[in-house]
Structure 1
Amino acid sequence: MRDTATRRARPASQQGMRRANLALVLGEFAAGPRSRAEVAAATGLTRAAVSSLVDELSAAGLVAESGPTVPSGRVGRPGTALALDPQGPAGLGGEIGVEHLAACVVDLRGEVRAWLRRDVPNRGRTPAAVLADLAALLREVADGCGLEPAGLAVAVPGLVGAADGTVERAANLGWSDVPLAAELRRALRGAGATGLAGLALDVDNEANLGGLAELWLGDGPDDFLHLSAEAGIGAALVVDGRLLRGARGYAGEIGHLPVHPDGPPCPCGARGCLEQYAGEAAVLRAAGLTDAGGDWVALLARRAADGDPAVRAALTGAGTALGVAAAGSVNLLDPAALVLGGGYAELAEWLLPAMRAELAARVTVRAWRDDWLSVSRLGRRGPLLGAATGVVRAVVADPGRFAAAEG
């Protein structure tokens, strides 16, 4: 009986080792084109083992030849360089915003292959109506890119139950307890996108995905606090290259951090929350633009650039409130850097002076340096890029699952 059990356990162990080695080898190609010999030298695997693993990855459409390579020092016969296959499995991302819907496809190399964004006033619409529109957009972008999605991830402005993709609360949409993952699958089938409905599907908070995009695609450190705005205000704390989600997955709700405890009431039930001073509605109200519709960030940026004194004053007030909240966060968490993302990135010129003044005055754990506060180059593209890129990174981290499915 003992021998039988040992024999049964061995294949599972060998399979696990091969799966780990597939990830190890594919990870080398994620850093750029490599020859088999270079991968063997970097991983410590034999050339024969690398060749076998590369053959499996190639059969699954994960790597492809990219041209000849010459050994270091130009001695010896040229080899064949391989790289992540640009025609291989792709990441499909979707985004639900208060005033828009968007979808994109990112290939294995991280290149954006298709991108669609539609202005849609989603505040107060039923989840079924919003998801029907999103499903149609996802089908359109997937059909148009010529690539096979390996998975789907969706960014949403709300608190998400990570286990089942339920949006527990999205105040700016007017949603609560929406089983978004299940309802989106139903909407995709209704849109004739049965293949997309069968994909692995992840739903996450848009601020989390924006922070992850900054980690994966940005130029900063692996330890930072990412502040962003859509209609509300969110934050993502990245520590040692990992997103800090909190015990229940709700970390980052900086928009409901009180900056003035006796301030105006917030829809969350508290008073004086940051969103009441630096959120969309608050800034538009302070600027005298309460009837403005559509792209509020572009409107404010345009008016501020034209010298509108009311808009500039409103943005200065928002920057002051952001600085107060950010200073408290820095004193509590001591991140290496602060990154201003989302809609704030496009308004940074008018937000940063007041933010920096508050940070310099209020940060006590260290002497504040202005270069610790930077502006994301991803801006409002961050959450959608984070969604699609996360799918690709999951393929690279565990290609064995995809290779087995292809086989």
Structure 2
Amino acid sequence: MISSKYTIRELNQATLLKTIIDKKEVFRAELAAATGLNKASVSDITKKLLDDQLIVETRVGDASTAGGRKPIMLTFNPQSATALSFDIGYNYLEGMLSYIDGTVLSSISKRRISIDAANVFDHIQQSILQLIKDLPETPHGIVGMTIGIHGVVFEDHPIFTPYYDLHKIDLQKELADHYDFPVYLHNEANLAALGEYTFSSHYQNLVSISIHSGIGCGIVASGKLQVGKHGKAGELGHSILYPNGRPCPCGNSGCLEQYASSKAVYEEFAQLKGLEYVNSDILTDYVKKGDTDATALLKKNAALLSIGINNIIMMYDPDVIVINSKLYEKNPQMIEQIHANLTSQFTKDISVRNTRLKGNAILYGALAVTAQHFLNIRKLKLGKEK
């Protein structure tokens, strides 16, 4: 039934499991009707899923109006497995251990650190040891680890990381050689989009814009993550805002992220105020105190970002644009300012909102990758929203 420890490969089995997950609670006859499988196949597959503790029998349901035996209800086992998820920037690390359904078991946050090719493995290894100190026993154990990398990632390999040098090493191979579970590397903006799709939205078409050291966007179309032929789709931060503007590590001049990324905003405010260090908390505190420089800087950022958002809407026509940024989360008035700048006939009715995953969209997207591989379900929805 499970051809390897980590992947359910049989198509009918995956189809049946997805139906159980989508419906939350269902009985066997209902599964047959929903999937088109005959009752004998449904019975065989559910037995295998029960044996592997991927589903559980929950209760006796109500009998039909025609009478007969009362059905036994089936549901997905949210504690069937665990997963490790990481978001690693050039100056921070966020990690999470969770059950396969997204229930968080432990987390770790390291800030104001320096990540590079020489120390990233040690940072991950130390973080894993801390996360799994109280690892619960589950039927399948840890079924994978997915890591969000800030840069272009193609087939688990960073190929362009402008603000640290992780493209110089084969991090996936180093980790896979050390651990006995699968390891996946993805672009962080793509993970944020997948996190929103899987855990916080009922939409099939969305764009998630991640604003950190750079600006990237993950694109989900018809339930499928769009990464492009070489993994470079969604590099919104490297669209040109000002021709012949500030030089960018990508080789262009005047890229959007050189003006509108969180890194750019913090550095500009630090220079204005003569501060050594600025983050979202510090800048937000100045805004709350009525500082005119801080207020003007946030308004300018929203105006610049709205140019990029306008262009994304023109190209992809999504149901919703989700902003994944601690600065925007702490200053929701910036969303209103973006809406005020989206005035064209094509953009004015598009929903733009902050993430509902409390700044953890990348971690939840990383979990979604692991879960998709383990369960062999691509259009996986694990959130409560319908």
TM over 0.5: yes
Deviations along 1:239-271, one digit per CA (max 9) or x if unpaired, are 222121112111111111111113222233322
Which residues of 2 match residues 256-295 of structure 1 at below 5 A? 256-287=238-269, 288=272, 291-293=275-277
Which residues of 2 match residues 361-376 of structure 1 at below 5 A? 363=344, 366-369=345-348, 372-376=351-355
Residue 403 of structure 1 aligns with which residue?
none
Q: Distance in 2 between matches of 1:353 and 1:334?
A: 20
Residue 11 of structure 2 aligns with which residue?
20
Secondary structure of residue in 2 paired with 1:61: coil
Aligned-residue identity in percent:
26
Q: Which of 79, 92, 100 is residue 71 of structure 2 equivalent to?
A: 79
State TM-score, norm by structure 1. Answer: 0.81
The answer to whether 1:159 aligns with 2:149 is: no
Q: Which of 212, 237, 252 is residue 255 of structure 1 equivalent to?
A: 237
Q: Which of 200, 204, 207 is residue 218 of structure 1 equivalent to?
A: 200
User: Higher mean Cα deviation, 285-294 or 328-337?
Assistant: 285-294
How far the C-alpha of 1:291 sits from its partner, in A, is 3.8
Deviations along 1:278-303, one digit per CA (max 9) or x if unpaired, are 11232123323564547x12322333
Q: Distance in 1 between matches of 2:101 and 2:73?
A: 15
In structure 2, relative to structure 1, the CA distance for the partners of 1:94 and 1:83 (3 Å cut) is same
How far the C-alpha of 1:42 sits from its partner, in A, is 2.2
How far the C-alpha of 1:378 sits from its partner, in A, is 1.7
Secondary structure of residue in 2 paired with 1:263: coil
Which residues of 2 match residues 59-78 of structure 1 at below 5 A? 59-72=51-64, 75-78=67-70
Q: Which runs of 5+ in 2 are unaligned?
A: 1-8, 379-386
Residue 12 of structure 1 aligns with which residue?
none
In structure 2, relative to structure 1, the CA distance for the partners of 1:336 and 1:139 (3 Å cut) is same
Q: Distance in 1 between matches of 2:321 and 2:274?
A: 30
Deviations along 1:368-397, one digit per CA (max 9) or x if unpaired, are 325522222124200111001221132222
The answer to whether 1:144 aligns with 2:134 is: yes
Q: Which of 26, 29, 54 is residue 34 of structure 1 equivalent to?
A: 26
Number of residue pairs the alignment of both structures matches: 366
Q: Distance in 2 between matches of 1:274 and 1:180?
A: 29
The one-letter code matched in structure 2 to 1:27 is: K
Q: Which runs of 5+ in 1 are unaligned?
A: 1-17, 190-196, 400-407
Q: Which of 122, 125, 129 is residue 119 of structure 2 equivalent to?
A: 129
How far the C-alpha of 1:202 sits from its partner, in A, is 1.0
Q: Which of 307, 330, 335 is residue 290 of structure 2 equivalent to?
A: 307
Decide whether the 8 Å contact of 1:92 with 1:142 is kept in 2.
Answer: no
The answer to whether 1:45 aligns with 2:37 is: yes
Residue 111 of structure 1 aligns with which residue?
103
Secondary structure of residue in 2 paired with 1:145: coil
Q: Distance in 2 between matches of 1:61 and 1:289?
A: 58
Decide whether the 8 Å contact of 2:16 with 2:35 is kept in 1.
Answer: yes
C-alpha RMSD of the superposition: 2.7
Residue 404 of structure 1 aligns with which residue?
none
The structure in which a higher percent of residues are helix is 1
